[in-house]
Chain A
Amino acid sequence: MELLVASAVGAMTAAGIYLILRLRSFAVVLGMTMLTYAINAFLFASGRLVVHLPPILRDHSGTVPPDTYTDPLPQALVLTAIVISFGMTAVVVMMALGAFIEGGDDHINMPENDRIMPPLKTIDDSPAEDETA
């Protein structure tokens, strides 16, 4: 079972990384969603795999014999992570959409013309440089 989980996490990571290396925004959003799955599954798995022992208390004595419940802490962390990553996906989607509507294409790279920086000749902040900046 461990092997299956690990391989699935690996496959989802690979898919996610491949997709975020694409040049169009939608593919990157898909890639990030895949990465989110992989990372959430990984974080959850750090509590180790346990079957049929959900962290819902069955007696109220307060003593916890070993191996009666799975580790609840990674679950709590992943739960908020899922919700937060929804928020993140939503913001990224809106940014992608905004860029597409505003600019007319969904490339994620900076246009070639904007990448050229003027060479740095001096660190003195002369007024001439202030104007260009």
Chain B
Amino acid sequence: MSPALIAMLPFIGALLPGLLVRSGRSVAATACGTTTLVALLGLLLHSPAIMRGEVITARFDWLPMIQLNANFRIDGLALLFGILILGIGLLIITYARFYLSRKDPIGKFYTYLMLFQGAMIGIVLSDNILLLLIFWELTSLSSFLLIGYWRHLPAGRQGARMALAVTGSGGLAMIAGMLILGQIAGSYDISDILNAREAIQSSPHYTTALVLILIGAFTKSAQFPFHFWLPHAMAAPTPVSAYLHSATMVKAGLFLMARLWPVLAGTEQWFWIVATTGLVTMLLGAVIAAFKDDLKALLAFSTVSHLGLITMLLGFGTPEAAVAAVFHIINHATFKAALFMSAGIIDHETHTRSIARLGGLRRLMPITFAIGTIAALSMAGIPPLNGFLSKEMMLYEASHLEQARQGFMVVATIAALFSVGYSLRFIFHVFLGPQRDDYPHHPHDPGFGMWAGPALLAALVILIGLFPNTMAGWLVDASASAVTGEVQNSDIYLWHGVNAALIMSMIAIAGGALLLRLHSPLLAAWEAAPRPEAKTIFDALVLRLVRGGRALTDNLTNGSMPRALAAFTLATLFCGGLAWYTGEAGPVTRPMLPIEVVPFIGWLLAIIATGCMVFFHRIRVLALVLIGIVGLMVSAFFAYFSAPDLALTQISVEVVTVILLLLALNFLPKRTLTDTPSVRRGWDAFIATLAGLGFGGLTYAILRRDFAFPTISDYQLANSYKGGGGDNVVNVILVDFRGYDTFGEITVLGIAAIAIFALTQTLLQGRSSRRLRNWVHEQRRAGDRHPLMLVIATRVILPISLMVGIYIFLRGHNLPGGGFIAGLVVAIALLMQYMASGYAWAQDRQALPYHALIGAGVVAASVTGIGAWFNGLPFLTSAFGYFKLPFIEEFELATAMGFDLGVFLCVVGAVMLALNSLSRIARHAGETVNVKPMDIDLSDEQTREAQ
């Protein structure tokens, strides 16, 4: 099976529970189990090839320009982790089916679980570090969902949030580290990176990359000082804890360290950072675990401790230590998953996880007792179980370090001692001792479905312990070879003779037994001793961050818009100024164009109108007239400087905008009151002047300089006719070169119009509707609402304006014009009818709904674009040809015209829908409807007389 398919299968499986959960919990569980099993079988089928030392790869180009490719590989290490993830995943799926109660939404649970499984499989199978990072983030997200699965529990939510915050921020550091690593190696493919050891280790950025990547790995694998999230993640349902903390999530960091071991390990920095962190974590976790009362907390801290152990082994940097690390990963996964599931069974049956309330379960739950004891003894490192083997190997490696590193041996022995202590506690304080009669719930062994999984794992614990080479040797060899990059043939024996490791082990067991004996006084001392509580520190830190963030945003945007806008303007000015003074502008090369009389008059008009506008902006109708003058001058500016298309667009948009504002002004106050003190206005004027000077200065600076880079327009000018079949380059750019852009823009325009329509709908209901019904206009209305002259003139003009619209549309490809302008022209022609003859009269004669026009426009544009697919070309590739019909001169037909038609329809629809909405508000406000095109509005007079 292709590695890519194996990585995909859990994601496909994630879709099934939602679909199947109505058929029952077992069906959903079976579906997930089946997909997992298929993926596992697919993976195992590759194992003979991997045993031979082959690497299975699958490569797909995803985003080759940034070297992000969907490359997958299966080597020994991936095989080991894949088996753990899928194998234990299978057991967890079965276990969870019986563990979760009927009240828990099980479909959601399985979906999250499968997503998580897919993300984990993705990490271990990725052959591209960018792809790996994506899956890495996915594990953070999906584990957040899993940990917070019982979202009604505050502990669950907080634990999930903490896990996400810690692993997520570590993930950010790792992204940076990975990017540096990829830059050094010159490739983001793991296969290439693994071959670039010398380049990476001699690079000046090696330490930076190492530290950043390790932060990512340490946060994920709960290494000191990031270990605190893991125990809080125990708020999750036990199947989740068992999965995340035995085989998957926390092993991801270890996986990464193992994956990059060949290129990162072996240096001084690596040894001291990784091995020391591992050692500290191992000791700390073991000591805390020995004094925890909550069964799952004990297991959580023991997990932290064992992760530290593996990290330390990887940190040693020797191939033998790597073999031990890999072996312990297998062993830890087996006994820890079994222990978590046993703890879950105890919780499920007795309704408590507090060790103080347990004890004497041996006879009540014999099966659970057997499983729990075997797994716990293995965790303690008692022969002949598998935990003993890898712990011996660890102690052997720790005792064979060079002279300066002898301290590791001592600390490792102490940690092992505590490890024996808490493991024995698990057995003695839970199962042994006198039977009690005050359990919260009378315990008995669960059904087969629940203990089958842990029992299988317990059997593995014994079998691997007795026959390590047969049972696990092949997997250890394959993955250790992949980690170290050289062929490993490890021989694992139970009996090594009496050596340092055995003596250390015996010390640890004896000390652990003593610890158990002295547990009560030691616990009292532990409880009394002051110690920092990680959650309090973390919460205080987060609270401070949140407060700081809130203080900043509350001061910038406290609900006052001028304040926010002023802050924004000043910040923009500051950035612009900074860029100007730190950057370098090119030399002034362009000569000034001579000032001519007519443009100068235009400039004068624009400046005066602008000034007056600001001065008289309180008289709103006057301000509209003045803004119209400015707009007109802007279109003249476009026309003068060789942009006829822009001039046409600007002038038609101007018309539409002014009409829109006028219609709105019908309801708004006609004057703006002065409500700011003159100091405030002076300050605002100061900011505005600064912005004006800055922007004007920038414009001048640009205008006097030539292009800093060669312009891409030369290509468009050269290919407009050849490739796009049009002479009007601006139009060809719009409908052809940058057609996708335009396509997006007309869609946005359509959405804006529909948003306006929706706004209107809400205004016509509820409180605003009542207000509208009782609306009293401030000013007297003109009696002659549909003047005869206007009605006649607009009707005469209508066919002419439509003709002009069509003409502008048709010639657009070769001369100034096109869909945008034609759409605006036609919209104005229609608008004039509404204004002259009244809304009702015009609406009666208008059969097409404007929504449909917008829709038709977008559809026309997309159909034109999709048409290119049928010719095997990318979306929106255009074609054109020249045709000759009798009696008419030769003319051109281009597919771009279909696209332009879409633009046209969309613009007409959007403009009309916006203005139409305003008219509807007016009608709602009691504006009487004319029956005839020309009438005298008497409503105003009548109300006056009535008063």
Contact = CB atoms under 8 A, between A and B. Distances in A.
Interface residues of A, number: 102
Nearest to B727: A57
Interface string A51-84: 1111111101011100001111101101110111
Contacts of A85: 653
Contacts, number: 344
Nearest to A112: B559
28 contacts: A4-B599, A6-B696, A6-B699, A12-B606, A14-B693, A18-B684, A21-B562, A21-B687, A24-B673, A28-B561, A29-B661, A41-B637, A54-B816, A57-B729, A60-B721, A70-B641, A73-B716, A82-B653, A83-B820, A87-B752, A89-B657, A98-B759, A102-B763, A108-B561, A108-B562, A109-B560, A122-B539, A124-B539
B734 A76 contact: yes
Contacts of A58: 727
A110 B481 CA distance: 66
Contact of B642 (A26, A50, A60): A50
B595 interface: yes
- B600, B627, B664, B771 — most chain A CB neighbours (10 Å): B664
A84 B751 CA distance: 11
A34 to B, nearest CB: 7
Contact of A62 (B631, B721, B767): B721
B729 A56 contact: yes
B561 A44 contact: no
B675 A56 contact: no
Contact of A124 (B154, B691, B728): B154
Contacts of A124: 154, 158, 539
Nearest to B741: A80
Contacts of A125: 154, 157-158
A48 B702 CA distance: 8
Interface in A72-127: 72-73, 75-76, 78-80, 82-91, 93-98, 100-102, 104, 106, 108-112, 114-115, 117, 120, 122-127
A84 B910 CA distance: 11
Interface string B639-683: 011111110011001001100110011011100110110000000
A3 interface: yes
A55 to B, nearest CB: 4
B760 A94 contact: yes
A114 B814 CA distance: 56
Interface stretch (B42-50, B103-111, B275-283, B742-750): B742-750
A51 B641 contact: yes
- Chain B interface bracket (under 10, 10 to 19, 20 to 34, 35 or more): 35 or more
B712 A10 contact: no
Closest 6 CB pairs of A and B: A10-B696, A14-B692, A110-B559, A6-B700, A1-B593, A18-B688
A131 interface: no
Given A57-B717, A62-B721, A87-B753, A21 B558 contact: no
Given A14-B691, A95-B759, A5 B637 contact: yes
B59 interface: no
Interface of B: 154, 157-158, 539, 542-543, 546-547, 550, 554, 558-562, 565-566, 569, 590, 592-596, 599-600, 603, 606-607, 610-611, 613-614, 617, 620, 623, 627, 630-631, 634, 637-638, 640-646, 649-650, 653, 656-657, 660-661, 664-665, 667-669, 672-673, 675-676, 684-685, 687-689, 691-693, 695-700, 702-704, 706-707, 711-714, 716-722, 727-730, 733-734, 738, 741-742, 745, 748-749, 752-753, 755-756, 759-760, 762-763, 767-768, 771-772, 814-816, 820, 824, 907, 910-911, 914, 917-918, 921
B756 A91 contact: yes
- A4, A28, A51, A86 — most chain B CB neighbours (10 Å): A86
B687 to A, nearest CB: 6
Given A5-B703, A34-B610, A26 B645 contact: no
Contacts of A13: 688, 691-692, 695-696
Contact of B703 (A49, A72, A120, A127): A49
B631 to A, nearest CB: 7
A36 to B, nearest CB: 9
B630 A37 contact: yes
Contacts of A17: 569, 687-688, 691-692
A34 B630 CA distance: 8
A63 B543 contact: no
B718 A90 contact: no
B587 to A, nearest CB: 15
Contact of B653 (A63, A83, A106, A109): A83
Given A52-B642, A94-B756, A42 B695 contact: yes
Nearest to A105: B669
Contacts of A95: 759
Contact of B752 (A2, A12, A14, A91): A91
A19 B603 contact: no
Contact of A55 (B657, B729, B753): B729
A100 B669 CA distance: 9
Given A70-B641, A93-B660, A115-B559, A7 B696 contact: yes
B691 A3 contact: no
B294 to A, nearest CB: 20
Given A4-B600, A56-B727, A124-B158, A20 B565 contact: yes
A17 B570 CA distance: 11
A7 B762 CA distance: 43
B660 A120 contact: no
Contact of B566 (A21, A44, A55, A111): A21
Contact of B650 (A56, A82, A93, A104): A82
A120 B738 contact: no
Nearest to A66: B714
Contact of B745 (A47, A83, A111): A83
B749 A75 contact: no
A87 B820 CA distance: 13
A44 B745 CA distance: 18
A10 B697 contact: yes
Contacts of A21: 562, 565-566, 684, 687-688
